[in-house]
Amino acid sequence: MSVVAVRVRGARGADLDAVVALERAAATAPHWGVGVYAEIVAGQGAPRCLFVAEREDGVVGFAVGMTGPDGVAELESVVVAATARRAGIGRALCGVVIAWCRAQGATESALEVREGSAGAIALYEGLGFVRSGRRPRYYSDPEEDAVLMRLPLQ
């Protein structure tokens, strides 16, 4: 088995096309306009971060986080290319977002995930997130409940 080197770094403007392409290819990812990602990279609006994972063949994943004034951060989106999954990339992306949130002073991180996303739930539980609730019929296309999860950061 060959190991392909992956580097996680802060996103740049030049990464936006790849980020949007990955997002569009992931049916269950939140679909934001390129302008939202551009604002994050530019540091505009709410305190947010956008990290990308890249290999020599390009960007293969990204993650977005946000901190709120109440000390609660949110892991908003994590997307890894289908061809790069199960290689630790999602875990690495989550780790840098969590570290960024901690550095911003967040004391807790929250997220919601589709109930049927067993792989994502296992990833989050492996990072220490615990289930804290449910939002019935939160998602559409297809309709599905959201599982709420939390992770203490201090």
Helices (H), the chain: 16-25, 34-42, 89-103, 118-126
0.85 surpassed by pTM? yes
pLDDT per position as a tens digit, 80-104? 999 888 889 999 999 999 999 999 9
**Greater model confidence, 2 or 107:** 107
CATH of segment(s) 7-112: 3.40.630.30
What are the extents of the domains in the chain? 7-112
Q: 71 φ, ψ to 5°?
A: 85, 0
pLDDT for 5 equals 86
Angstrom distance (rounded) from CA 91 to CA 95: 6
